[in-house]
Amino acid sequence: MTDALKDLSAAGVAVWLDDLSRERLRSGNLQELVDTRSVVGVTTNPSIFQAALSDGAAYDEQVRDLALRGVSLDEAVRLIQAYDVRWACDVLAPAGGRVSLEVDPGIARDTARTVADARALWWLVDRPNLFIKVPATAEGLPAITAATRDGISVNVTLIFSLQRYEAVMDAYLAGLEQRLADGKPLDGLESVASFFVSRVDTEIDHRLDLIAKESGAEDRVEAAKRLRGQAAIANARLAYQAYERVFSTERWQALAARGATPQKPLWASTGVKDPAYDDTRYVVDLVAPGTVNTMPEPTLDAVADHGRLRGASGAEGYEQARAVLDDLAGIGVDYDDVVRVLEEEGVEKFEASWAQLVEQVKAELDRKRG
């Protein structure tokens, strides 16, 4: 066992767990992770809740009560999620931790409904250390501004491209400025921007493999092989460079003087999907002050067991990172198309996960109504 998780915290990286269940809460496991693994945050999504509901009897009592009350399916889904998230918020509050809860992914392309859902969830959970997850779609950007203006702490999710990340930071700053114009305080209002990592390598590696297979030019084949596994970390490092630039501008300094908190970059999708790669790479290669890394439990365990930090690895190598993206473009990998595909797939996957969660809750309610 290494001290890598403790070292991460000391290096300015907030360690978050990408999982939550009522059993984890009841057993005291989440508190144990706070005490022994430096965990100060939790992210949730519909897949996580669906898996928790289908495993064991931890939710039976609440589901039975909801069935007896005859609540709607939508209300049942929200009340079940809110119960766990509120509990997790209370567990993490003494450590200054945060818990994220997602708006309905089915409204990711509808600004007004996204804002309304964010307000409803903020009220329902009613904890100051809550984050409401809002997708970084084009329609989500004004929702980020509106929610921030309302005093809702936002976890902006599904960020893949550097251009969209710039727009996300601008949306947050605009929300802070509008809140100040309304005469309201900025104290206690926070935000994170979830920049997805491993999915970038998965998509680009697939395209590189096709180039290597179909190209007859030896130099292109060699370049495709050399660039495998380099895109995601390069993309994230350039995102951190953008963060450093935006949060050192005069615009930001004016907000900071009024009590504003920087919107931290959050490295999401940090579980390694290719067994050829080291299982801690999306953690140890992205260490940077003022960031968050949210890990599935296997990644958390791997970092604790054999993670080896190498300084501020995420806050350096910007020229090399830019060269990686340039080299990818040079052999025909279309960055704009990659991030477009990833965003569309991300929204579709979240929608499908939400549908599965709703179906799981319906089955549980029907079983209790018997």
The CATH number given to whatever domain includes residue 35 is 3.20.20.70
Distance separating alpha carbons of residues 230 and 241, to the nearest angstrom: 17
Residue 2 clears pLDDT 80, i.e. is over it: no
For 23, residues 6+ apart whose C-beta sits below 8 A from its C-beta are 29, 52, 55, 56, 58
**Nearest 5 degrees, angle CA 153-CA 350-CA 279?**
85
For 142, residues 6+ apart whose C-beta sits below 8 A from its C-beta are 111, 171
Report how far Cα 231 is from the mean position of its chain's Cα atoms: 19
Residue 367 clears pLDDT 90, i.e. is over it: no
Per residue in 292-307, pLDDT (tens digit) is 999 999 999 999 999 9
Range of lowest pLDDT (54-63, 79-88, 255-264): 54-63
Residue 64 clears pLDDT 50, i.e. is over it: yes
Q: How would you classify the pairing of strands 264-268 and 191-196?
A: parallel
Predicted confidence at residue 214, as pLDDT, reads: 83
Confidence band, pLDDT 50/70/90 cuts, at residue 1:
very low
Which amino acid would we find at residue 294? Answer: T
Predicted confidence at residue 106, as pLDDT, reads: 87
Distance separating alpha carbons of residues 76 and 73, to the nearest angstrom: 5
Distance separating alpha carbons of residues 66 and 58, to the nearest angstrom: 14
Predicted confidence at residue 219, as pLDDT, reads: 86
Residue 25 clears pLDDT 90, i.e. is over it: yes
- Kindly report the backbone phi and psi dihedral angles of residue 57, in degrees, each rounded to the nearest multiple of 5, phi listed first: -120, 20
DSSP secondary structure string for all residues of 156-177: EEEE--HHHHHHHHHHHHHHHH
The catalytic site residues sit at: 133
Q: What stretch of H or E contains 132? A: strand 130-135
Predicted confidence at residue 98, as pLDDT, reads: 98
Per residue in 268-291, pLDDT (tens digit) is 999 999 999 999 999 999 999 999
For all residues of the chain together, what is the average pLDDT? 95
The number of domains in the chain is: 1
Of 14, 142, 20, 155, whose CA–CA distance to 91 is shortest? 20
Q: What is the pTM of this model?
A: 0.95
Q: For residue 320, what are the domain limits?
A: 4-369
Confidence band, pLDDT 50/70/90 cuts, at residue 370:
low
Predicted confidence at residue 55, as pLDDT, reads: 82
Distance separating alpha carbons of residues 159 and 177, to the nearest angstrom: 23
